[in-house]
Amino acid sequence: MMAQQQVLLSKKEFNMQHTFESAQPLTFFGDYDKKAGIISYPYAGVMVRVGRNGRVVGDYSNLKKAVEADVYRRFRAWEDIKDVYSKIGTDPFIEGGINEYYGMRLTHNLPWETTLTFIISQFNNVKRIRQITKRLMEVHGQPVFSTDGAVAGKGIPDQETLAHATEESIAKCGAGFRTKYIRSAAEYCSYSLDLEKLGKLGYEELKAELMEIDGVGDKVADCIALMGYGKLEAFPIDTWIKRLIEAAYFGGKKTGIAKIHEFARERWGEYAGYAQQYIFWYGRNWWKKWNSGKA
């Protein structure tokens, strides 16, 4: 990948807190120092630190270009979020989400870390997904270093490592019944499928390839396509999205997955994934607040 010129994200176009907390793969690892306004995440053996303006914090010397290019891609820094809003702001519901979570960006993470975290996400809750991922990193990840050379944490365990890890060591991280999927997916992505090579495929082809991975179905494949490959037309449909779309656009009527995919494609087209993220985070949080009697 060629070195990208770093584009600074203004405070308004990049709301770090919303982006970090919005339950994307990015939020499943690293850390967020709210007071200092710095996100940390492991990449290429170092702990990358990013400030509120999207600028890399610290001196990465010879890794500088690589780290900056990763930040550029990870936060989609080339993208003017106002353009996105003009495409997805089709109605008051989505506009409510844009208003409440202004500056929440989609992130474009690495294929394997996205695959792993979203396999863990099935039939699970956000808090526990983070917890399981964190434990897997601690047990099976390689050390990553801060700019002063000290060990700053562990990275996402790679496919090969998990392919050779015992089921017991994965299960102990809390993975439960997903343990066999993690092992199987790690083996498949080590020896039978090169995730890096799938990037050149179009969305439909990519999704079909991803669904060959054990433990990856329609929803997780869409999450990987969206947040691991940057395919913005992907529209992951989980229980929240199904419930919210039915409530907001189908008059509360039960609607099949295929029908919802079709609806999203027609309504939001190439930006459906962005619409999904705002519907998910806004709708879910609103719903929870309402049901706890605080809305």
Interface positions with DNA (CB under 7 A): 22-24, 121-129, 131, 171, 174, 176-177, 181, 211, 213-221, 223, 236, 238-241, 256, 258, 276-277, 280-281, 284
Residue 239 burial (C-beta neighbours within 10 Å; 0-12, 13-18, 19+)? exposed
CA dist 290 and 295 (Å) reads 5
Our CB check for DNA shows the closer of 177 and 290 to be: 177
CA dist 292 and 295 (Å) reads 8
CA dist 132 and 175 (Å) reads 6
Kindly state the smallest distance separating residue 52's Cβ from DNA, in Å: 21
Token pair for 97: 């989400």
Our CB check for DNA shows the closer of 141 and 236 to be: 236
Q: Do the beta carbons of residue 264 and residue 272 sit within 8 Å?
A: yes
Q: For residues 89-126, b (16+ Cβ closer than 10 Å) or e, as one string?
A: beeebbeebbeebebbbbbbbbbbbbbbbbbbbbebee
**Which of 164, 173, 43 shows the shortest CA–CA distance to 120?**
173
CA dist 182 and 54 (Å) reads 32
CA dist 163 and 103 (Å) reads 38
